[in-house]
Structure 1
Amino acid sequence: MACGGGTQTRNGGGSQTRTTPSQKTSTDDPTSTDTILFSVLDNTHISHDKARNPYFLAHSDHPGVCLVPKILTGGENYSSWKRSMMISLLAKNKVKFVNGKLPQPDPGDDDYDAWFQCNSMVISWILHVVSTEIANSIMYLDDVVAIWSELHDWFHQNNGPRVFEVKCSMQVLTQGCNNVQTYFTRLKALWDLVK
């Protein structure tokens, strides 16, 4: 720990630099800003900072959690399933694991084990909200980015036959005995699949 300068560095398994407004730098620069670097092995953060750390897992986060009520069964519900999953992953600060913005660290990195733990947790969450057939086809992929990409390639609406199928469904959709709101909701869901 460096004393007197206003910048503290801790090396307890990973480094953290934290400068707070109440601490003056050695140059007493009033324009200095807060800098916080997270490390998985640093336990000195307050709980707000922990929740912003992508490696943070709450006590309620376990492999058996079903993040969304929808089960992915195929292209017909992929868009709504993906949207629900993204909202849940954003809430748990794990989107960086599926979009590739938090790549696998080198084996010697302090965060290597934590990355694998979180990657495996997200894979488990996905396996619990897809059909058995889909789960069997992605079970042996080790990287959640690869799983997310596979699901997108298989079920995204931009494949020709799926777009044709949805457009046919839109043409034959009628209000029938449904109220206008129900009819509009169904029509909008189909429209969202093709845009």
Structure 2
Amino acid sequence: MTVTTTTTLAARLAEAACVTDAFALADGRVLDSYFDEYRLAADPQLLYDVTDAMAALVPEGAEVLAGIELGGVPLVVALSAATGLSAAFLRRLPKRYGSRRQIEGTSVEGRRVVLVDDVVRSGGQLVAMTRILRVAGASVTDALCVLERPLGGRLLLDDHGVVLRPLLAEADLPAPEVTS
């Protein structure tokens, strides 16, 4: 992606999906802004453009793209369509009825799987999903995201043998406009 394309896409994402408001993380920390993945997923042209750009991040040899509920699911569907790779869908917990599965969609056993999520902060959710996929017999060495926030996720993933490939870093987003 060119600098112009990155800048334009970052500006569109910031306008559509970056919200300045309190946002509580699972560990109790509170951020003053957040990325609303539902606003991204609700805009078909923006979703198309984001996943078109993310397709270039998919590593050679990838066989399955695995989206983490809920933010990663629309992304992985669109990215699957853009790349032609099969998709799998990961639940945080196994379904409590019906199939009782935690991994839905394409089989991951014996395949090279790339994790897909909207935002990476601490990396804990991606590490948990990496473990689940590895127990199911998948090879997981890469994770893609739309936005990386510098809260330790890259280091944690690296410690677990997973390379983080973000489309954008938080620093790529334009500063919010100050109104007086």
Coarse TM-score class (shorter-chain normalised): under 0.3
Instruction: Kindly indicate which of the two structures has a greater share of residues assigned to strand.
Output: 2
- Length-normalised TM-score, structure 1: 0.25
Instruction: Kindly indicate which of the two structures has a greater share of residues assigned to helix.
Output: 1
- Length-normalised TM-score, structure 2: 0.26
Rg: which structure is higher?
1
Point out which structure has higher relative CO (alpha carbons under 8 A, 6+ apart): 2
